[in-house]
Amino acid sequence: MESHHIGMLGFVVLLGLIGLRVPIAFALTLVGLGGLVILSGPDATFALLASQMYSSVANNTLSAVPLFLLMGYFAYHAGLTRACFDTARLWLARLPGGLAIATVAGCALFGACAGSGVAAAGAMGRVSIPEMLRYGYDRKLACGSIAAAATLAVLIPPSIVMVVYAILTEVSIGRLLLAGYIPGVLSALILMAMIMYRCSRDPSLAPPVPIKITWSDRLRSLKDIWGITLLIGLVLGGIYTGFVTATEAAAIGALGAFILMMLAKQLTRATFRDSMLETARTTGMIFLLLVGASIFTGFMAISGVPQVLAEVIVEGKYSMWTVLLIICLAYLFLGMFLDSISMMLLTLPVLLPVLKGLDVNLIWFGIIVVKLVEIGCITPPFGITVYVVKGVVGNSVPLEDIFRGIWWFLAMEILTLVILIMFPAISTILPDTMLGKG
């Protein structure tokens, strides 16, 4: 059996282990180790592991992961979640489906300091869903809007998924973060437009909110979001000016969120401990995945599967668009079962040589991948943010209703994906303008 056949067999075994619910980090490690032992022998394998396991996480840029996570947890405890929704509610409540539209706007704002769709779903869901249900909103619309809008935190920087992608593909984290802003705003606007259209056609989905809102109320509400505006300015402005790297911007953002928590008088032993523990848990999970992925990547490289796949595509003269369509379909399928980081760790080691052979812009492709894994966050039967929303609402809304509520949002996400594919400049214009063409 040739080495690339062993690599393909290993990939099948990996999918089988994932199907048996073996944690992805352990599945990657087991298959990678087994394949390396078969191809290189035990002595060479364990000699490789001595350096590989350390070098896979001994990367200075990886420190951005816990820092962005910490920034999000501090911002949540500082009360920025409530401020985002309340301000958006005052400005948008009079529109058809105004509270659901405000939920999307609030998630977009909070996503700019959360970095995690799961965190955004939990934080915003506790604030916005009870408010919508109290005013008689359709349960499916209320829960679907938060499950879908929370995924904007994956696309709107800072994004943990973007940091991991940048490290795996060795592209600039700063450029990739800047590339996410316009697609993120576009995604939010498309979701808002869909909600307004549906609610104007069927007012029973979202009865008018019977409260009087004046312009003075709206203008006063802007002072409540100065903190999140400052955080966004610190992160984006620092990267844009070149004064700090993306990792340093993450550190500044975390410090800024900590100060805001202090100013809001929410800094207690409990909130500080919870923020640190949640950051440590999530960081540990991500690092364990990266170690497993590095071992699996070594196995794939030695087996020659990526090179064989690249040769097949070159010899078959498949166009970039055909390859991209296949990749999109594969990600949409994997999104039904895997979380975002696991999908990237599973596929990028195989796809990267193919993409480089087709001369694909990896910044643009990174936005496409992030959008695809964002869609995976609401795709049944896995749909991680759907289950987070279910945890928020408890038994008051059946899981089936939440999944029914996301179909319109899922269609809009796919529409946005098509737009981003057809018009690459949407993703590349900001980093190219601010940092020059790279």
- pLDDT per residue as tens digits for the range 166-220: 888 888 888 888 898 899 999 999 999 999 999 999 988 888 877 777 778 788 8
What's the whole-model pTM score? Answer: 0.80
Confidence of residue 81 (pLDDT cuts 50, 70, 90): confident
DSSP string, 351-418: HHHHHHHTT--HHHHHHHHHHHHHHHTTSTTT-HHHHHHHHHHGGGS-HHHHHHHTHHHHHHHHHHHH
pLDDT surpasses 80 at 402: yes
Residue 212 lies in a domain: yes
Instruction: Work out the average pLDDT over 431-437.
Output: 77
pLDDT computed for residue 264 by the predictor: 84
Whole-angstrom Cα distance, residue 179 to residue 400?
35
Kindly indicate the confidence band of residue 376, based on its pLDDT and cuts at 50, 70 and 90.
confident
Phi, psi of 94 (to 5 degrees): -80, -10
In a domain, 281, yes or no: no
- pLDDT score, position 412: 94
Token reading at 109? 């704002």
Contact by Cβ (8 Å): 163, 68? yes
* pLDDT score of 1: 67
Distance CA 52, CA 379 (A): 34
Residue 28: inside a domain: no
Lowest mean pLDDT among 154-158, 214-218, 271-275, 379-383: 379-383
How many folded domains does the chain comprise?
1
Burial of 395 (0-12, 13-18, 19+ CB in 10 A): exposed
Task: Let me know how long the chain is.
Answer: 438
Cβ of 225: how many Cβ atoms within 10 Å? 18
The whole-number pLDDT of residue 394 equals: 81
70 falls within a domain: yes
- CB of 124 within 8 A of CB of 146? yes
The boundaries of the domain holding residue 74 are 62-267+306-435
Q: Residue 217 domain-assigned? A: yes
* pLDDT greater than 70 at residue 91: yes
Per-residue tokens: 355: 């993409």
- Report d(CA 207, CA 199) in Å as an integer: 9
Q: Say if 130 falls within a structural domain.
A: yes
Does residue 361 surpass a pLDDT of 80? Answer: yes
Residue 273 lies inside a defined structural domain of this protein = no
In a domain, 145, yes or no: yes
Of 81 and 148, the structure prediction assigns the larger pLDDT to 148
Residue with tokens 């929704």: 85
pLDDT of residue 367: 94
pLDDT at residue 3, rounded to an integer: 81
